[in-house]
Structure 1
Amino acid sequence: MSDDLHFKKHVFFCMNERDDGRPCCAERGAQMAQEHAKRRIRQLDLNGEGKIRINKAGCLDRCDQGPVLVIYPQGTWYTYVDQSDIDEIIDVDLIGGNIVERLKV
């Protein structure tokens, strides 16, 4: 891993919307979760170059396990139910550097 990464950690929230009846992350609160994470990272002054970036993504092809997010560069995939799960991912993984095993997919 390079020491000159633009972001220390990059979080992608799947925002996929499907209209064929299959599950999708958008219908499971992905927008609100992404907005909450972005707001909380800003409040903690952890956003910006060399820090943490919270992004929206198109289909990450794991909607059946969703809603999902993935954190790079480590490539850890999580699911979540509510804002407390997002806060736990922020506190334990993004800040603490540990995996939240109960939310890992």
Structure 2
Amino acid sequence: MDSFFKYHVFFCLNQREPGAARPCCANCNAQEMQEYAKKRVKQLGLAGPGKVRINKSGCLDRCEEGPTVVIYPEGTWYTYVDSSDIDEIIDSHLVNGKVVERLKMDR
């Protein structure tokens, strides 16, 4: 069975209460980075069926490793700091199919 999207990208946007025991992606500009990725993918003509879908997600349970992005169908997990990291993920992984090792989360 073929996947509806070549790549399905999920950005964790989970927000925890102030003082929570665990960190949350929302406090690391996750929504801004998700919106940035969605806009950039559209600008590159990569968005749509058979191509790339950028989605919001609730908690992906890897909060301690930094803001979280997971790309399916491979199940590649990334973290990021800013839009230049998002650009690198888009350009390397989504455009060229090459994993960005320096941003990849450990298993």
TM-score by length of 2: 0.93
Q: 1:82-93 counterparts in 2 under 5 A? A: 82-93=82-93
Offset, 1:87? 0.1
**Structure 1 segments (4+ residues) deviating >4 Å:** none
Offset, 1:21? 4.5
Distance 1:71 1:15 in 2: 15
- The answer to whether structure 1 residue 16 and structure 2 residue 27 are counterparts is no
What value does the CA root-mean-square deviation take over the aligned residues?
0.8
Number of residue pairs matched?
103
Q: Which residue of 1 aligns with 2:4?
A: 6
Distance 1:47 1:59 in 2: 24
SS at match of 2:77: strand
Q: Which residue of 1 aligns with 2:41?
A: 41
Q: Which residue of 2 aligns with 1:77?
A: 77
Letter in 1 for 2:70: V
Letter in 2 for 1:101: E
Distance 1:12 1:33 in 2: 11
Q: Which residue of 2 aligns with 1:59?
A: 59
Letter in 2 for 1:95: V
Offset, 1:22? 2.1
For structure 1, list consecutive stretches of 5 or more residues without a partner in the other structure: none
Distance 1:59 1:68 in 2: 9
TM-score by length of 1: 0.95
User: How high is the sequence identity, in percent, across the aligned residues?
Assistant: 65
For structure 2, list consecutive stretches of 5 or more residues without a partner in the other structure: none
What does the per-residue CA deviation read over 1:47-100, in whole Å, with 9 as the maximum and x for residues that have no partner?
Answer: 000000000000000011120100000000000000000000000001110110
